[in-house]
Amino acid sequence: MTWMIDTESVASYIRETARAVILPRFRALGQGDVREKKPGDPVTIADTEAEQELTRRLQAVIPGANVLGEESVAEDASRLTWLSADAPLWIIDPIDGTSNFVRGNAGFAVIVALARQGAVEGGWIYNPLGDVMISALKGQGAWSAGRRLQVKREVPPEKLTGAAYGRTKSGVRAGRALNDSGRIRGVHNQGCSGLEYMAIAQGMAQFSLHSRSLPWDHAAGMLIVHEAGGLGSFLDGGVYDPRITDRPVLAAATAQAWQTVHDVVTAV
């Protein structure tokens, strides 16, 4: 990495934006504050304003960097070409778990990643309701409140828990296939990939399977899990690359957990 990043400053920008823009609208959305980008895919005024504020702040951290936000891509998909550009790139999901946010349910996070030419160099995930921040820089570990995080390794297969989305090749929901397999303890989807990656890094879950690899959902989390001692890749075993947006991704605390989930969902 050719730039010096103060992880605490970036964390402060994320936390301040959440407190100023996101939390005041939680369970307080008014008429006209929610619309659908496409059927079943809501966006709120809190999403758009938080993305704008984070964009403004992060552009000052690395002069010349691009900022790729989920909502800006919804307006102009050509911005996805920035994933392959030479310039460093901030990737933002202003509210991961917008459906939960709209319903007034706990289960949303703010996600920020820093990447360049397919390499993820930094990641931050923030749970505003719990005021929990996890951050990681490549090669420097995953940290929260001054404590270095470590995935939970000594979990037997029959006690594995985590999240699973999408369907198997036969059309069965991945979560159902795993629950019915008898090989794990259970699937518990939170509807928020950010919180699910946090749970792995904190030792509270062992896997997270998602059917799409949109970078604002996964770039930060994949780095954080790796830096906490876990692993992640595309479900087909390919090395994770944030420039690839439409391939299933699987992160896990251990190689055994990864293989167990992989074997179940690819066998049916």
Domain boundaries, the chain: 7-148, 157-266
Contacts 24+ apart (CB under 8 A), 177-186: 177/264, 177/265, 177/268, 178/261, 178/264, 178/265, 181/264, 182/158, 183/157, 183/158, 183/260, 183/264, 184/157, 184/158, 184/159, 184/160, 184/260, 184/261, 184/264, 185/158, 185/159, 185/160, 185/161, 186/161
What mean pLDDT comes out for the span 73-102?
96
pLDDT per position as a tens digit, 49-73: 999 999 999 999 998 999 999 999 9
Secondary structure (3-state) at 213 = coil
Alpha carbon distance 195, 227 (integer Å): 16
| CA–CA distance, 118 with 128 (Å, rounded to integer) | 28
Which residue carries 């809190």 as its tokens? 46
Q: Tell me, what's the pLDDT at 2?
A: 52
Domain 157-266, second-level architecture = 3-Layer(aba) Sandwich (3.40)
- pLDDT value of residue 207: 98
Q: Dihedral of CA 261/262/263/264: which sign?
A: positive
User: Taking Cα atoms as reference points, which of 112, 5, 135, 131 lies closest to residue 62?
Assistant: 5
The CATH number of domain 7-148, selected from 2.130.10.10, 3.30.540.10, 2.30.30.100, 1.10.10.10: 3.30.540.10
Q: Which residue has tokens 């102009």?
A: 76
Q: How do residues 140-165 score in pLDDT, each as one tens digit?
A: 999 999 999 999 999 999 999 999 99
- Look up the pTM and report it: 0.97
How large is the average pLDDT for residues 253-258?
A: 97
pLDDT of amino acid 4: 79
Question: What DSSP line would sit under 43-55, residue for residue?
Answer: EEHHHHHHHHHHH
Cβ–Cβ under 8 Å, residues 96 and 217: yes
